[in-house]
Amino acid sequence: MKKIEPLYEGKAKKIWKTTDPNLLIAEFKDSLTAFDAQKKSSAKGKGALNCKISAYLFELLEKHGIKTHFVECISDNEMVIKKAQMIMIEVVVRNIATGSLTKRLGIPDGTVLPFALVEFYYKNDDLHDPLINDEHALILELVEHESELEELKRLGREINVVLKSFFDKAGLNLVDFKVEFGKDSEGNIILADEISPDSCRFWDKESGRKMDKDLFRHDLGDVKVAYAEVLQRIQKVIS
């Protein structure tokens, strides 16, 4: 299997067509963006860290019965993935209030929520990925049936249960995370995109130190050092 041509390039990844019509290659980039790409930078090696972290977490979730698009890593910053028709909804799961949730609802930063909050955002750069409800998703025809929205919520919560427990063992609080889904060749909804410190918030359980892209967003420290530590903690728990 070989790369043929680029299919899509986003802020953090480039997706390539391959000689296998059912498989693609995701190339993780070193770029860093925040605030709708108004803030930009790069960190050499960040892409490789996110690729490895995502691979470990996809494998973990597969073991818990959650289907993903992950096939295998073929280099430090490239993984083979199953081709999927992406659902243009970002599913955000929150365990602790911070970021936009505190701004929108006035919940004090750091408040532990009484249950995992699942939110939908319309994946549309031109509209700045707005928060939407179920009715918006149906009006926009982002899904075919209301039952698919319930499936996205169920999967988001199941992923949260697995990851929250796993990162607790790694000494990290899983504050919140964003996941994306697609439909495989048989129409099944599968987890896609990535799971990394770019798409999750991790706080050290002892110190409260941020170990995710908020370091870049708010100029709080070295992103690559934090991502490398997250990877090391994951490897330690798995081993």
pLDDT in tens, 41-97: 999 999 999 999 999 999 999 999 999 999 999 999 999 999 999 999 999 999 999
Residues 61 and 116 in one domain: no
Predicted confidence at residue 36, as pLDDT, reads 79
Q: What is the mean pLDDT of residues 106-135?
A: 97
The residue from 67, 82, 97 where one domain ends is 82
Statement: residue 212 has pLDDT above 80: yes
Is residue 66 domain-resident?
yes
Predicted confidence at residue 37, as pLDDT, reads 77
Helix H or strand E segment including 102: helix 100-105
Confidence of residue 26 (pLDDT cuts 50, 70, 90): very high
Tokens coding 87: 């659902």
Average pLDDT, the chain: 96
Residues 201 and 149 in one domain: yes
Is residue 35 domain-resident?
yes
Residues 106 and 220 in one domain: yes
Residues 65 and 92 in one domain: no
Residues 52 and 114 in one domain: no
**How many domains is the chain partitioned into structurally?**
2
Residues 10 and 78 in one domain: yes
Predicted confidence at residue 2, as pLDDT, reads 86
What is the number of other CB atoms lying within 10 angstroms of the CB of residue 221? Answer: 14
Q: What is the mean pLDDT of residues 116-121?
A: 98
pTM of the predicted protein model: 0.96
Q: Extract the runs of DSSP E, i.e. beta strands, from 37-165.
A: 39-42, 70-75, 78-82, 85-96, 112-122, 131-132
Statement: residue 35 has pLDDT above 90: no
Residues 15 and 89 in one domain: no
Confidence of residue 38 (pLDDT cuts 50, 70, 90): confident
Q: Is residue 34 classed as helix, strand or coil in its secondary structure?
A: strand
CATH number at residue 20: 3.30.200.20
Statement: residue 21 has pLDDT above 80: yes
Residues 145 and 55 in one domain: no
